[in-house]
Structure 1
Amino acid sequence: MHYETLNIDIAERLATVTLDRPDLRNAFNEQTIAELTAAFTALGQVESIGAIVLAANGTAFCAGADLNWMKKMAGYSHDENRADAMQLANMLRAIYLCPKPVVAKVQGDCYAGGMGLVAACDIAVAVEDAHFCLSEVKLGLIPATIAPYVIKAMGENAARRYFLTAERFNAREALRIGFVHEVATAAALDGQVDIIAKALMANSPNAVREAKTLVRDIAGQSVTDALVADTAQRIANIRASSEGREGVRSFLEKRKPSWLA
């Protein structure tokens, strides 16, 4: 597929999806939304890919919604607004449910819907001078479609504050509340993301995929008999899998597993 708002690069099992509208601070419109949905859906099915990095060109990671797109939305009917919002919701879900682990490399400011992009990723690393803002209420709106992911990432208590105040906060605060996993200097950002990507790609692709699903399915559940049985079934399944058997054999035989050979 040809992409006009993204750059896609694949090298040594690592795919990098780069937002490429730097003159508009990588604000997204319906085309960017469609292209991100298509890119993550397609890359998630490529067996040779071990991890995906979501990055951006320019001084901002993502400023949220494109102004021209917002102008169009102002004239939409209720049904048109709902259909438009569903496209954004489906894009975020495509990233969140992508079978591959996804790392957000936040090289600049990240606002509104851009925070949804980061929150839908599995791991987020931000440059130390990045700033974040959930600015929707300033415009009479709410961060509804991004809320499931942002609340999971920063927690209910922090979300209550930043959803309501629309305060701008820095990368250290994003780290403190758990929205990002690491903060790096501009010089160290690429290297830190590379370390994480290499760690992901050193592991069993099937186990990484199943571990991602495990976190998503188990988080927030009560420890019931059904949950205990479910987790026992999952470990039984993975032990009997080809990669599970190969991983244990390679460890006992003190050699690299087949996925690293």
Structure 2
Amino acid sequence: MTLSNSLADLHLDDSIQLELSNGILRLWLNRPESRNAMSLAMVKAIQQVFTAIQDDQSIRAVVIRGKGGHFCAGGDIKDMSQLCGEAMNIGSNQPYVDFNRQFGAMLEQVDQAPQTVVAVLEGVVLGGGFGLVCVSDVALSLANAKLGLPETGLGIIPAQIAPFVVKRIGLTQARRLALLGNRFDGHAALQYGVIHEVVEHEAALELSLSLVIKQIKRTAPHASRVTKALLHQTLTEPLKTLLDDAAQHFADAVSSSEGIEGTLAFVQKRDPNWMDEEK
């Protein structure tokens, strides 16, 4: 499948697979033999992709899911074993620090991506995989998926994941899930606010995804990017500054070609031209 110019020159290993069609990039976690556990190579590959598409407005959304019936089982134990050897050789825990922090940088990059990020959940969704869900814009899940933060039961901590989990579901729920390490299904994930929709079988999951993609394509490309950035700013900017900036963004949007076309399409009761471009 032909990739956009922003992706064509990437040299990725086979830990992920990419499929691009009509502005939708499907990013497959591709280590089914380990239930798509996240290796350092996978983390770096995901970062490469999101760096490459940062300014590519032809890519409207990124759909992340796992090969082999599982989303992601968390961090790769083999990588951790290798890090143990490196730490012993140099007499320092710095290799653990570097590995863990790079995973957090990847989560932050996905979180801030201008594209709409959709996570599609099946099988196990644990640890790092759970963190990846928490930085998605839309999350869909099978009812029998198994989600959780098992770190404390393994004698480690959800170090880079924790801030994103708290932002996603609030401190009260995050404390219980992280400190007890319970696993839960898609219905509970919906109740906690981790995901947005739960379905009972594969066919329903595919249908739900297709409807989400259709809705994404109905939104104006630039307006969608600006809106996502604005939503992130609500967590960090003082209210007055935020509202001042938002007013300017609104004025820019109304007077833009997208704003003019969207208003005209509404009055004329037709689809806006960016939907024609996506067909």
- Interval of TM-score (by shorter of Structure 1 and Structure 2): over 0.9
Judge conservation of contact 1:18–1:54 (CA < 8 Å) in 2: yes
In structure 1, the residue matched to 2:71 is: 61
Question: Does 1:214 pair with 2:224?
Answer: no
Counterpart residue type for residue 32 of structure 1: M
**Cα distance 1:220–1:41, how it changes in 2: closer, same or farther (>3 A)?**
closer
Aligned to 1:205: 221
TM-score by length of 1: 0.93
Q: Provide the identity percentage.
A: 34
* Cα-to-partner distance string for 1:28-65 (whole Å, 9 max, x where unaligned): 11100001111122234333222110011113210001
Q: Does 1:3 align with 2:13?
A: yes
Q: Does 1:127 align with 2:137?
A: no
Mapping 1:84-163, distance limit 5 Å: 84-163=99-178
CA distance, structure 2, for counterparts of residue 38 and residue 45 of structure 1: 13
Matches of 1:3 and 1:209 in 2, distance apart? Answer: 29
SS in 1 for 2:140: strand
CA distance in 1, matches of 2:49, 2:57: 15
Give TM-score, length-normalised by structure 2: 0.88
Q: Distance in 2 between matches of 1:115 and 1:238?
A: 35
Residue by residue over 1:206-236, the C-alpha shift from the partner in whole angstroms, topping out at 9 and shown as x without a partner, is 11111111111114767x4333323322212
AA of the residue aligned to 1:228: L
Give the letter for the 2:46 counterpart: L
Q: Which moved more, 1:120-129 or 1:142-151?
A: 142-151
Contact map agreement 1:155 1:177 (CA 8 A) in 2: no
Structure 2 counterpart of 1:108, one-letter code: G
Equivalent residue, structure 1, for 2:32: 22
Q: Deviations over 1:115-163 (max 9, x none)?
A: 0111111110011100111011112211111122211112111100011
Change (3 A) 1:99 1:220: closer
For 1:13 and 1:87, locate their aligned partners in 2 and report how far apart those are by CA, in whole Å: 28
Q: CA deviation at 1:80?
A: 2.2
- Please give the secondary structure, in 1, of the residue aligned with 2:68: coil
Paired residue secondary structure (2:194): coil
Which residues in structure 2 correspond to 1:177-188 (within 5 Å)?
A: 177-186=192-201, 187-188=203-204
Deviation at 1:25, TM superposition (A): 0.4
Q: Give the aligned partner of residue 248 of structure 1.
A: 263
Secondary structure (helix, strand or coil) at the match of 1:58 reads: helix
Query: Contact (CA 8 Å) 1:103, 1:124: kept in 2 or not?
Result: yes
CA distance in structure 2 between the aligned counterparts of 1:66 and 1:162, rounded to whole angstroms:
21
Gaps of 5+ in 2: 1-9
Q: Is the 8 A contact 1:61 1:114 kept in 2?
A: yes
Amino acid at match of 1:134: L
Report the counterpart of residue 3 of structure 2 in structure 1.
none
1:167-178 → structure 2 map (5 Å cutoff)? 167-178=182-193
Q: Select 1:51's aligned residue among 61, 83, 91.
A: 61
C-alpha distance in 2 between matches for 1:50 and 1:184: 24
1:228 maps to 2:243: yes
Q: Mind listing any 5+ residue stretches in structure 1 that lack a counterpart?
A: none
After TM superposition, the structure 1 stretch with the greater mean CA deviation from structure 2, 242-251 or 104-113, is 242-251
